[in-house]
Amino acid sequence: MTDTQCPTHPRQPAVACQECFDELLEARDAAGLRMWGAARLAADCDDRFPRRFAAAAVDHPDVKDWVETWRADPEAAPSLLLAGAVGVGKTWQAYAALREAATTVRQHPRFINRVPGPSWEAVTSADLYASLRPRTGVDTEAVMETYRRVDMLLVDDLGAAKNSEFVEETTYRILSGRYDDMRPSIFTTNLPPAELKHALGDRIASRLAESCRLVVLDGPDRRRAK
Ligand SMILES: Nc1ncnc2c1ncn2[C@@H]1O[C@H](COP(=O)(O)OP(=O)(O)O)[C@@H](O)[C@H]1O
Ligand SMILES: [Mg+2]
Q: Are residues 74 and 157 in the same domain?
A: yes
Query: What average pLDDT does this structure show over 163-177?
Result: 93
Q: How far is the CA of 39 from the centre of ligand 2 (A)?
A: 27
Which residue among 155, 187, 222 is best mutated to probe the pocket of ligand 1, counting the most ligand atoms within 8 A of its Cβ?
Answer: 222
Task: Look up residue 162 and give its DSSP letter.
Answer: P
The answer to whether residue 144 scores a pLDDT higher than 80 is yes
- Ligand 1 proximity of 52 Cβ (cutoff 6 Å): yes
Query: Measured in angstroms, how far is the CA atom of residue 66 from the centroid of ligand 1?
Result: 19
User: Any idea how long the chain is?
Assistant: 226
C-alpha span between 50 and 91 (Å, rounded): 11
What is the pLDDT, as a whole number, of residue 4?
Answer: 84
Tell me the CA distances in angstroms from 91 to 4, 54, 225, one per residue in order: 39, 11, 17
- If one counts the domains in the chain, the total is 2
Listed range (8-17, 76-85, 178-187, 210-219) with the worst mean pLDDT: 8-17
Query: Of the given ranges (13-27, 44-58, 158-172), which has the lowest mean pLDDT?
Result: 13-27
Same domain membership, residue 118 and residue 39: no
> 59 CB under 6 A from ligand 1?
yes
Per-residue pLDDT tens over the stretch 57-114? 999 999 999 999 998 888 889 999 999 999 999 999 999 999 999 887 666 777 766 6
How far is C-alpha 73 from the chain's CA centre?
A: 14
Take atom 15 of ligand 1 and give the residue whose Cα is closest.
Answer: 89
Q: In terms of domains, do 103 and 202 share one?
A: yes
Same domain, 113 and 13: no
Mean pLDDT on 33-55: 82
The domain in which residue 28 lies consists of 1-48
Q: 153 and 71: one domain?
A: yes
One domain for residues 42 and 59:
no
Cα angle 153-90-70, degrees, rounded to a multiple of 5: 45
Q: Tell me the CATH number at 181.
A: 3.40.50.300
- CA 144 to CA 141: how far, in whole Å? 5
Point out the least confidently predicted range of 31-40, 74-83, 157-166, 213-222: 31-40
Q: What is residue 153's predicted lDDT score, i.e. its pLDDT?
A: 97
What global pTM score does this model have?
Answer: 0.85
Average pLDDT taken over every residue of the chain: 88
Strands (E), the chain: 79-83, 120-124, 152-156, 185-189, 212-216
Q: With a cut of 60, say whether residue 6 has pLDDT above it.
A: yes
- Same structural domain, 34 and 88: no
Q: Does residue 29 have a pLDDT over 80?
A: no
pLDDT at 34 over 60: no
More confident: 158 or 219: 158
Same domain flag for 19 and 112: no
Pocket test for ligand 1, best of 64, 92, 93, 189 (most atoms within 8 A of CB): 92
**What span, in angstroms and rounded, lies between the C-alpha atoms of 221 and 225?**
6
> Are residues 196 and 96 located together in one domain of the fold?
yes
Q: 29 C-alpha to center of ligand 2: Å? A: 35
